Amino acid sequence: MKPNVKDLSREELEIWLSERGESRYRVDQIRRWLFQKGAASFAEMTNLSAKLRRELEGGFAISRLRVARSDRSADGTVKLLFSLDDGYEIESVLIPETKRLTLCISTQAGCGLGCAFCATALLGLKRNLTAAEIVDQILKASRAVPAEQRITHIVLMGMGEPLANYAQTVRAIAVMTDGDSGLGFSSRRVTLSTVGLVPQIKKLIDETQVNLAISLHATTDEVRSRLMPVNRKYPLEELTAACEFYQQKRGRMITFEYILIAGVNDGLDQVAPLAKLARTLNAKVNLIPYNKVEDLPWERPSEEVQEAFLAALEKQKVTATLRREKGHDIDAACGQLRLKTERELANANC
Ligand code: SAH
């Protein structure tokens, strides 16, 4: 198998070219073909010499993702299920809002973090995605967008834990945020969501400029460890210290994601500690009503409970939003489309 040219960093491609006596500016030409024009072959790269095209052809492959299934929800959310070369499946979700079009992408096939409520956790970790597989989700999803629209924001919140696949994720971020010959997203429009791997959070803050979202989901170590085993390794005190570091270094608002799960973390007694954390760390809170996962015992609270929780947070002067039913009818939460497809296949009579 030839290496995938999209997995090369700009520097690596530069070295490869200079070893063949080619100028450095070829790097941008090649990358524009790959990331901006979606070239599927080196033969298309007509501003390169025939000799260079042949050498590229001999040395590298160009990857493409295959769309296995696509579902459009009543509210416009589009869920894409991709098949990888080795048969694993990953998901991306396009989420239209009034002034934005956000694409949520995956960073791993499966996930090894074992969050108790999550459909992807049921799979376990299959493997890390390559940088190319992460970027290809954006290239492929762009083609599913009507001509007059563009993807405006990227969130690394699909399947997997981006910081458990640190090197490839950061490589992919470098392509996303490269304005010259990458995808040209401003770092402010790229958000990485993590369970809270503290050392990698600090590294990420040092090495990139992207926004940070933390899957908080609880305000005590007791409840958080029950929901998220990672909390035993990096308890809230260490996690909040990493959030402080983000504050000092970046000075931007951090996002806390907080799934509302009935009877677990949705009591109004949770509002004051959550508000305190959010105010201290300059965080906004995204409340996400839990999406029911078959086979797991957790339930979504009623709309009244959700709205009351939001109102109480806002009363405490916290910037908060409540996700209202985006893509619920197509199972647009982490890992759920894949799970559904597997079940449908298992139940099919043919
Ligand atoms: N591993 C990263 C990113 C992937 S999960 C992280 O945990 O942040 C993206 C978000 O979806 C996380 O906040 C996760 O806790 C949440 N999530 C997972 N399963 C869910 C479900 N069934 N309903 C609602 N949110 C869910």
Q: What is the mean pLDDT of each run of 10 residues along the chain (350 residues)?
A: 96 97 96 97 97 97 94 91 95 93 97 96 96 98 92 97 98 98 98 98 98 98 98 98 95 96 98 97 96 94 97 97 69 54 46
Q: Dig out the tokens for 275 from the structure.
A: 């508000």
Residue closest via CA to ligand 1's atom 12 equals 215
Atom 13 of ligand 1: nearest residue by CA position: 215
Cα–Cα distance list, 74 to 4, 71, 141 (Å): 37, 10, 18
Q: Is 111 a catalytic residue?
A: no
Cite the residue boundaries of each domain of the chain with CATH code 3.20.20.70.
Answer: 66-348
Ligand 1 atom with the smallest distance to the CA of 113 is 1
> Pick from 82, 95, 149, 108: which is nearest to 288 by CA?
95
Say what the pTM is: 0.94
CA dist., res. 144 & res. 41, Å (int): 21
| Active-site choice (111, 115, 118, 334) | 334
Q: Using CA of residue 173, residue 175, residue 176, residue 179, what is the dihedral sign?
A: positive
Nearby residues of 242 by Cβ (< 8 Å), 6 or more positions away: 196, 198, 201, 202, 205
pLDDT at position 258 is 97
Using only the alpha carbons of the chain, give its radius of gyration: 21
Question: Best of 77, 104, 106, 118 to mutate for ligand 1, by most ligand atoms within 8 A of CB?
Answer: 118
Taking the C-alpha atoms of residue 75 and residue 236, their distance in angstroms, rounded to an integer, is 36
Range 66-348 has CATH code 3.20.20.70:
yes
In this structure, is the dihedral angle defined by the CA atoms of residues 187, 190, 193 and 194, taken in order, positive or negative? negative
Q: How far apart are the first and last CA of the chain?
A: 35
Looking at residue 314, its pLDDT comes to 97
Please give the Cα distance from 205 to 249 (Å, whole number).
7
Q: Tell me, using a 6 A CB cutoff, whether residue 257 lines ligand 1.
A: yes
What single DSSP character describes residue 301? P
What residue spans in the chain does CATH classification 1.10.150.530 cover? 5-59
Separation between Cα atoms, residue 282 and residue 324, nearest integer Å: 24
Residue 293 Cβ contacting ligand 1 at under 6 Å: yes
Which one of 1.10.150.530, 1.10.760.10, 1.20.58.2030, 3.20.20.60 gives the CATH number of domain 5-59? Answer: 1.10.150.530
Query: Position of tokens 């985006």?
Result: 326
Active site residue 350: no
Q: How far apart are alpha carbons 212 and 253 in whole angstroms?
A: 8
pLDDT at 170: 98
d(C-alpha 220, C-alpha 199), whole Å: 21
* Nearest alpha carbon to residue 116 among 235, 218, 251, 197: 218
Is the CB–ligand 1 distance for residue 157 below 6 Å?
A: yes
Residues 6 or more apart whose CB falls under 8 angstroms from that of 156 comprise: 104, 105, 107, 134, 162, 169, 190, 191, 192, 193
Measure the CA–CA gap between 293 and 98, rounded to whole angstroms.
29
Helices (H), the chain: 10-19, 26-31, 50-59, 131-143, 166-176, 198-207, 221-227, 230-233, 236-250, 271-280, 303-315, 336-347
Instruction: Establish whether residue 331 lines the binding site of ligand 1, counting it when its CB lies within 6 angstroms of any ligand atom.
Output: no
- Region of residue 184 (left: phi > 0; alpha: psi -120 to 50; beta: else): left
Q: Does ligand 1 come within 6 angstroms of the Cβ of 121? A: no
- Atom 9 in ligand 1: residue holding the nearest Cα: 157
pLDDT of amino acid 228: 98
